[in-house]
Structure 1
Amino acid sequence: MRALPAFTLGMLSLTLLALNTLFWSMPLFLLAALKLLVPLPAVRRRFSPPLNRIATAWISCNDAWIRLLQRQPWSVEGASGLHCAHWYLVICNHRSWVDIFVLQRVLNLRIPLLKFFLKQQLIYVPVIGLAWWALDFPFMRRHSRTALRKHPELRDQDRDTTRRACAKFASVPTSVTNFAEGTRYTPDKHRAQSSPYRHLLKPKAGALALTLNTMGQQFHSLLDISIVYPDGTPSFWALASGQAGRVMLHVRELPIPADLCSGDYSADAAFRSEFHRWLAQLWEEKDQRIEAMLAQATR
């Protein structure tokens, strides 16, 4: 089947993805409707485990068609020894929408369901938007620097969203996932930032710090994940049509420093500086790891 023309392979992949999504969306939307009708938060939380199991089944079926149709094997290091009963904070570099499929496929059934911070506009995506809401994915509003200068109170919106999301995550084992760069890497963005890293944009600390402040003591560990596409960053169509090339993923499990879970990032300048130093060191190590992964791919 992998020998099929790229266009045929891509259309087959999209068909399988659509059928898989439609199939699992029926029980998911039924539970989502019941969840919406229940006014009590304590009762609503009881819907989370079955909804998460449905999402896990959807990911498992996606894994099947990706495994069937992809022409290149994936290289994965460090993903053993993880557990679905633990809470994890996951951080990852961000290159493409393909990253989400890669993370879901590699980590499915190894750790709890990944929960991403999403742009507010994505809640309006047909079918998937409602699914993300039902699964308690937090939707974040993006405000320009100009808007924030004029209306500083807008910063509180995302802080409140993060706190509410973390409160929900605390009741069921969850992998809170953060693309710390805040956007997908491109050479233009890299130049515009004057990023000190070769393969990364500058990390944004705010949401990460707030997540640790809200539920840091509950996390078993931090999973520092690096994704590399040695043959070039693929689009989703490239993944669907078997043209994504090689995929390399490295997982590094780290303890979370206890002192980073108790400070006030927004009000304490000393803590904010300490947090930035920790994140910058983490990002420097990630940059070096990506460089090593790319060098390994050329051997």
Structure 2
Amino acid sequence: MTASSTSLRNLLLGNRFRRGLLKTVYIYSALFVYAVLFLLPFYWMLNTSLKEPLRVFQIPPDWYPNPVVFRNYLDAWVNERTDIAAEIPVYNYAKNTVIITVNGVIATTFSSALIAYAFARMDFPGKRAMFLGVISTLMIPFTVLMVPQFILWKNLNWLDTFLPLMVPYWFGSAWNVFLLRQFFMTIPLEYDESARIDGATHWTIFSRLIVPLSKPALGAIGVLAFVFFWNDFLGPLIILSKPQNFTLTMYLANFSVAFVRTTPWHLYMAASLTIISPCLILFFFSQRAFIQGITITDFKR
């Protein structure tokens, strides 16, 4: 085999040090196909949200809106509604969603970090058993807990208030505790020992050492929590009954009965894209920290 043929073979098939051109083309082609499949529904939502009503179900379908109707995004929020909550402005639903989301992000991140610190950096009797107990709660589906939780909130007179959607998350989340504990365990214990020699307490170590070193993991937890609370529908649906307490997801669920006669799908898609846009913007600007936190980047000693 000549040198030129060997170099051509290494270029196409690669070797143990370098990936070949054929494998690279195959990987990127597969990623492109998967990206198109995932983005196609989102594009169709965007396409429908910019169409005229008569063109939404046109056969054959229009793959791009003509003409482009940007007014749909305004009409989706201020159009004439006929539901029982017609007198309630849409920004009230946004305010309720923001209150629940901000509280949820702060509460679950802070409380989960404290619990994870105890499991990762402190020694106390029964620590492993308690951690296994916390993790085992991940196997319990929410549908099993809906009725007991509803009875509990009813006995506490918390129904139709934000308290059941805010207070429980100040006691941590099992998944967040697990993720943060694994990240905290990658930080060398020598840092804690050096801080204790200087007289640092557990709170000082946690707030001035562990938290600054764990920004990627905390950022990932924050992003996941924001997406969860912003898009949460089942929780508010069970707890809230007064229209003035509804969230944006509940408003969107009632969109089909909020307008005259039938569902205006072009407005429905415009409202849906407007509601999910904060999640998309947040992930776009924090994707690096999110990916680093999820992959649990190791620290070098």
TM-score, normalization by structure 1: 0.25
Q: Greater relative contact order: 1 or 2 (C-alpha under 8 angstroms, separation 6 or more)? A: 2
TM-score, normalization by structure 2: 0.24
Q: Which has the higher helix share?
A: 2
Q: Which has the higher strand share?
A: 1
Q: Which has the larger radius of gyration?
A: 2
